[in-house]
Structure 1
Amino acid sequence: MGKREQTIDTILQTTMKLLASEGLGKLSMRRVANESSVSLSNLQYYFKDIEALLIAVVANYFEWCAQEVQDNISNSQDARFETFLRNILTDHLVVGGKTDRCIMFREIWALSSRSTAIDTAVNQYYNAYCKQVVSTLANYSAQPAVVAALLLPYVEGYSIMGNSLTLDKKQVMDSLIAVIVGLG
């Protein structure tokens, strides 16, 4: 990774850390510059304003999510669909939303409600992420789009409200896997 890419990565990671810990209310270009150890003018060279920075954070977040799915496949020793689903759900069904992924998920969707440009970016990157997940699932299922349409919203919603369900995580996983495998 070159110096430019390293600086951009530092800025994006710092922005995500600030969003996750303090939310949008305390986020400013000056604060991101200070926390990233870059000058404000250098930050503005890479991102003209806070909206451009937040759109880059959205892109980075969905790239991170897609990479996690790919890593899960790469680390799987078992090629069976049921095992793949169990591994994905074990990693991604998180109660209470205290992981970096869950916190950023909530922040990104909150940001999308405040800005048309960010909402457009969220939809664009989420759509690309969904297509990548469908492509990955095609290796396991004859109906990858259906599986993705069931899994993605459920995993996201579970991170927010999973602790309110009457089933424990294992029961939820077993039920989801049964439904998805039953699709054929």
Structure 2
Amino acid sequence: MDKKEERLNHILSTTIAILTEQGAEKLSMRMVAKRANISLSNLQYYYRDKNLLFIATVEFYFESCKKELTEAIKLLTEDSLPDKNTFLKKVLSMLLINSKSSHQTLMFQEIWTLASRNKELQHAVEAYYKTYCLWMINLVAKFCCKPEDIVSFLIPFVEGYTIVHNVIPSTKENVIAMMLKVISILDK
């Protein structure tokens, strides 16, 4: 990684930290610059305004989530190819986030809040999800006959789970078991 890429990653990681701690409303370019130990003009050299910083941060965040999941799945399949249920159970365990204080949950909420007020960011989020769906389809295709159907079911459920997990009357383990049953029906 070159110096510029390191600096950009540091800026974006700093922005993520501020978003999860204080929310988008309190975030300012000056705050990001100060926390990243760079001048405001240097930050503006890379991201001329807060909107561009948000878009880059969301793209960076989503890409890091995808890398994290890829690594976890690689570890799962390194020794031997698991059976369909073992694979899906592991993927669901990773995707179903169930902690209100979770960094991922807080970022998810901030991203959707920001995207609801910003068309450019909304387009960036939609582009990410299109790419994410294709990536998930390719991943699930190794284990399922109808990967498009499975991913069309999984993505909205997983995203919604991060919001309502603490009020539904079932445990994460029971939800995973139910989802595996539904997936087995969808995949016939």
- Contact 1:96 / 1:160 at 8 angstroms: preserved in 2? no
Q: Which position in structure 1 is the counterpart of 2:2? A: 2
Q: Which position in structure 2 is the counterpart of 1:45? A: 45
- Contact 2:15 / 2:57 at 8 angstroms: preserved in 1? yes
| Aligned counterparts of 1:98 and 1:130: Cα–Cα separation in 2 | 26
Name the TM-score, length of structure 1 as normaliser: 0.95
Q: Which position in structure 1 is the counterpart of 2:22? A: 22
The question of 1:172 aligning with 2:175 is answered yes
The question of 1:124 aligning with 2:127 is answered yes
Structure 1 portions without partners, runs of 5+:
none
- Contact 1:96 / 1:161 at 8 angstroms: preserved in 2? no
Shift of residue 116 of structure 1? 1.0
- 147-156 vs 4-13, which moves further: 147-156
| Aligned counterparts of 1:113 and 1:171: Cα–Cα separation in 2 | 32
Shift of residue 94 of structure 1? 2.2
Shift of residue 36 of structure 1? 0.4
- 134-143 vs 65-74, which moves further: 65-74
Quick one: percent identity of the two aligned structures? 37
Shift of residue 84 of structure 1? 1.1
Shift of residue 157 of structure 1? 1.0
CA-to-aligned-CA distance 1:119-153 (integer Å, 9 cap, x gap) = 11111112111111111111111111111111111
- Contact 1:14 / 1:36 at 8 angstroms: preserved in 2? yes
Q: Which position in structure 1 is the counterpart of 2:60? A: 60
- Contact 1:15 / 1:57 at 8 angstroms: preserved in 2? yes
Q: Which position in structure 1 is the counterpart of 2:97? A: 94
- Contact 1:72 / 1:87 at 8 angstroms: preserved in 2? no
Q: What's the Cα RMSD here?
A: 1.3
Q: What's the secondary structure of 2:166's corresponding residue?
A: helix
Q: What's the secondary structure of 1:94's corresponding residue?
A: coil
| Aligned counterparts of 1:132 and 1:164: Cα–Cα separation in 2 | 30
- Contact 2:69 / 2:94 at 8 angstroms: preserved in 1? no
- Segments of 4+ in structure 1 off by > 6 A? none
The question of 1:108 aligning with 2:81 is answered no
| Aligned counterparts of 1:50 and 1:163: Cα–Cα separation in 2 | 32
Q: How many residues align?
A: 184
Shift of residue 168 of structure 1? 1.3
Task: Letter of the 1:14 partner, please give it.
Answer: T
Structure 2 portions without partners, runs of 5+:
none
| Aligned counterparts of 2:103 and 2:167: Cα–Cα separation in 1 | 20
